[in-house]
Structure 1
């Protein structure tokens, strides 16, 4: 079992989330960019995806909409700004309800060493208040719940 995620605050407007996985960087990258895989781990276990799109190329669009068991829908989307397989994904992101105070920039640096891959996700918020507001939510618990499911998915996938 991998250790849980760690959260740091590298600047006044950023949250950095680090998590390791026992899998290749290629597999981890695919789980972040292939809709059929994204749907199997991202978000809360009891929520369902109604929309899961990710066009993994510079200029590509992405869109996720999930529905809670009681029918509440949460949607977000954006553009792929930079992408280099298997080690770099940079997107912008805006939630439909805009609880983050505007568009964020999300980078994911994926590095592998000795069969352990680290995913370092950094979220740049438009203001310190927006960052602090996001940090005050249960985002860490939600992300770790998804990452545990990602860990299980990776364990079931053939290595390549």
Structure 2
């Protein structure tokens, strides 16, 4: 198990990468920030210089999603899409994942599980790849650093008045 700042990364099986992060926010708000396009747009921008230009999500089992990021300096575009396989608000979302660019062979399956205790939400993201070779290749990329950067932005947004208003809207 590796800890990279606020993110704990492990490989619980031969095809999986698991990342765990704790947020100082209620589970229903964290889940909403992961599953509602208008909230994803607040924090899911990618590395510095990148912005989320397309953010579409039909948040239900059988729904689809599409994200497209643009790099303002280089003009590069990175897209990702998939199908939501399971959707149990506010505790679990499982989806397929495929990048437009062939970063790795085949689709991956991403599972997000949220648990709450004492006002803190633990997010466990498990990504299962097509093979151990694909998982090992992905681990050579700075994937964990990118996920940690995104989750740091999410944590910062969760601490804002805007997030408090979103929580009030959730009821």
TM-score when scaled to structure 1?
0.95
Do 1:33 and 1:54's aligned partners in 2 also have CA atoms closer than 8 Å?
A: yes
Structure 1 gaps of 5+ residues are none
The residue number in structure 2 matching 1:88 is: 92
Report Cα offsets for 1:50-92 as digits up to 9, x if no partner. Answer: 2111110011000001011211001010000001010000000
Do 1:29 and 1:110's aligned partners in 2 also have CA atoms closer than 8 Å?
A: yes
Do 1:108 and 1:121's aligned partners in 2 also have CA atoms closer than 8 Å?
A: yes
Q: Are 1:5 and 2:7 counterparts? A: yes
Do 1:45 and 1:146's aligned partners in 2 also have CA atoms closer than 8 Å?
A: no
Deviation of the 1:46 alpha carbon: 2.5
Aligned residues: 158
2:62 to 30, 44, 59: 59
Moved over 4 A (4+): none
**Superposed counterparts of 1:99-110, under 5 Å:** 99-110=103-114
Do 1:19 and 1:120's aligned partners in 2 also have CA atoms closer than 8 Å?
A: yes
1:151 to 155, 159, 164: 155
Q: Are 1:142 and 2:160 counterparts? A: no
Deviation of the 1:6 alpha carbon: 0.6
Structure-2 separation of matches of 1:90 and 1:101: 19
TM-score when scaled to structure 2?
0.89
The residue number in structure 2 matching 1:128 is: 132
Structure-2 separation of matches of 1:103 and 1:77: 10
